Amino acid sequence: MLIKIPQLLSKEQVAQCRQIMAEAPWVDGKVTAGYQSARNKNNIQIAENSDAAKQLGDIILATLAKNNLFMSAALPLKIFPPLFNCYQGGHAFGVHVDNAIRQVPGTPVKVRTDLSMTLFFSEPEEYQGGELIIEDTYGAHSIKLPAGDMVLYPSTSLHRVTPVTEGQRLASFFWLQSMVASDEKRSLLFDMDMSIQNLSQGKEDDPAIIQLTGVYHNLLRQWAQT
């Protein structure tokens, strides 16, 4: 399931974040890559233990917590603190699959990476190349979204970032562990939730909608791990 979340951050929030990024400490992006990924990864990123990374991450996580589309699609249990990267001057990231388990630095907390997220901070016209290519059973999807938009996709997917030949591509990337590990089951719950919300407009007391809502929660009760 690939979900685009439009305008997660407002234009004002994007501008605020980009100002923080401009003053942040940047390091080689390989520091957070696994053995295999590091061989294909060529970019820079904000030092993950820096004040800038924490400040930016707090903005994103606070906004995500209030986004109904994200909550419905992801059913988040644990979220790895957001990381931030920059592609420029030919930087690219070859085909890879994200590590299955991520340990939050400085803590014993481990996060199973069920879903990956990329939040864009550069407008598409600001750079050439830099498409996020995600492969699934329906083929390859090319993602290049407006600043403030985010894409959510299964961490099991093969994906890559094409070379940035002009300009600068700024983004946040991070992962989450869902209460429902199965992408198939999450997709069914998401489709049902969206249908309930559409049907419920002005008909919240309809017995059929109440019954369908009960089915949703009973399925979630069976499938959720907390």
Whether the Cβ atoms of residue 177 and residue 99 lie closer than 8 Å to each other: no
Residue 113: its pLDDT value, please? Answer: 98
pLDDT of residue 65 exceeding 90, the answer is yes
Q: Is 172 helix (H, G, I), strand (E, B) or coil?
A: strand
The mean pLDDT value for 69-91 works out to 98
| Together in a domain, 190 and 84 | no
- Would you place residue 36 in the very low, low, confident or very high pLDDT band (cuts 50, 70, 90)? low
CA 51 to chain centroid: 21
| Together in a domain, 86 and 188 | no
Q: Which CA distances in Å does 221 have to 61, 162, 204?
A: 25, 40, 22
Domain harbouring 206, CATH code: 4.10.860
Residue that is written with structure tokens 């002009």 in the block: 166
Domain span at residue 210 reads: 183-223
Count of domains in the chain? 2
| Together in a domain, 173 and 213 | no
| Together in a domain, 45 and 145 | yes
Residues 6+ apart with CB under 8 A from 17: 9, 56, 59, 121
Percentage of the chain with pLDDT > 90?
88
pLDDT of residue 6 exceeding 70, the answer is yes
pTM for this entry:
0.94
